Amino acid sequence: MGDETEVLDLRQRVIDLRRQVAASEGRFRSIVERSTDGAIVVDAAGIVRFANRAAEGMLGRAQSDLLGQTLGFPVVAGDVAEVDLLSPHGEIRHAEMRVVESEWEGEPVSLALLRDMTERRRMEDELGYQATHGPLTGLPNRFLLGDRLNQAVARVRRSGQSLAVAFADLDDFKAINDRLGHPVGDQVLVETGRRLLGVLRPADTAARVGGDEFVVICEVADQAMADAVVARVTRAISQPVILGDQQVVVRASVGVVLARHTGPDTDPASLLAAADEAMYREKRRARVDQRAR
């Protein structure tokens, strides 16, 4: 009789424990289902056992599509990492993932908690862009130009190429502002930036470093290629700018210096100063030629 009682007590304890586990899992499901963070339960084989609605939205997939599948990125207890979530429609969302050990239906699992960082990443990228590009032309500013120039100098020292640095200044730009107004002057600057990008290679850099001053850097093989870059830049800028029913004629003085990988003349600050001086020499030469005519 005593043995039967002990068996009955044991069975009751098992039943009570199962009820407690079920109640605990029910509370767990309820909590994570209401969470604004994504929650995904992954077993030891990396198979999804559960995903809440927030996770469905972040992944762009229904739970029925996720269950029994792998996520495509590792889920390891203890990890804190940023992951890119690609939906079936090609949308990419960025999330911070924290993984903790847990238990699901009596088995050890990993619980991945996903916090959507897409908007924060977008804002960071936008602020970074604003800090390194001019708001009017969208070209790199002096800060980003310095970084690009440092990288270019390092590359040509390794590659054996040369680096052309061209400094362009729009002639008599103040007269355009005074005669036609600053809005027209701004449009001329925007069009100048657009034209520079149109005649350069993707790997080259065009930057606006002052009111009407632009700098171009490009890796070239020799002086002839550097001169060809200057010719393209000068020709592009000098084409009349059509603004509505008026035509604005722009001229530019462009100076260029060539830094060879074997020479001592590859200090970025010195290159910019030398290109600036070459531009002023070109401007003075053009004025002498104009008076001679």
CA distance 286 to 234: 13
State percent of the chain over pLDDT 70.
85
- Rounded to 10°, the helix 142-159/268-292 angle is 100
First and final CA of the chain: distance in angstroms? Answer: 127
Total structural domains within the chain: 2
- Rounded to 10°, the helix 118-132/142-159 angle is 80
Nearest alpha carbon to residue 116 among 47, 52, 48: 52
* pLDDT at residue 32 greater than cutoff 90: no
Mean pLDDT for the stretch of residues 203-207? 95
* pLDDT at residue 44 greater than cutoff 60: yes
CA distance 95 to 120: 10
Cβ–Cβ < 8 Å for 112, 42 = yes
With a threshold of 0.85, does the pTM exceed it?
no
CA distance 68 to 53: 17
Q: Is residue 292 part of a domain?
A: no
Q: What is the pLDDT of residues 119-128, one digit of tens each?
A: 999 999 999 9
Q: Identify whether residues 189 and 241 lie together within a single domain.
A: yes
Best mean pLDDT range from 36-45, 187-196, 283-292:
187-196
Is 276 designated active site?
Answer: no
Nearest alpha carbon to residue 189 among 267, 243, 122, 126: 243
Rg (alpha carbons) of the chain, rounded to whole number: 32
Q: Identify whether residues 212 and 239 lie together within a single domain.
A: yes
Mean pLDDT for the stretch of residues 192-216? 94
Q: Identify whether residues 102 and 138 lie together within a single domain.
A: no
Mean pLDDT for the stretch of residues 96-102? 89
Host domain of residue 91 = 35-119
Work out the pLDDT band at 15, boundaries 50, 70, 90: very low
Q: What is the pLDDT of residue 255?
A: 93
Least confident of 8-17, 48-57, 242-251: 8-17
Dihedral sign of CA atoms 10, 13, 15, 18 in order: negative
Q: Identify whether residues 44 and 146 lie together within a single domain.
A: no
* pLDDT at residue 3 greater than cutoff 60: no
Q: What is the pLDDT of residue 9?
A: 53
Work out the pLDDT band at 150, boundaries 50, 70, 90: very high
Q: Is residue 10 part of a domain?
A: no
* pLDDT at residue 156 greater than cutoff 80: yes
Domain stop point among 119, 153, 177: 119
Q: Identify whether residues 156 and 240 lie together within a single domain.
A: yes
Q: Identify whether residues 77 and 42 lie together within a single domain.
A: yes
- Which of 116, 169, 212, 276 is the catalytic position? 212
Q: Is residue 14 part of a domain?
A: no
Token pair of 151 as six digits:
């990288």
Mean pLDDT for the stretch of residues 57-77? 88
Q: Is residue 8 part of a domain?
A: no
Mean per-residue pLDDT over the chain, rounded: 85
CATH number for the domain that contains residue 110: 3.30.450.20
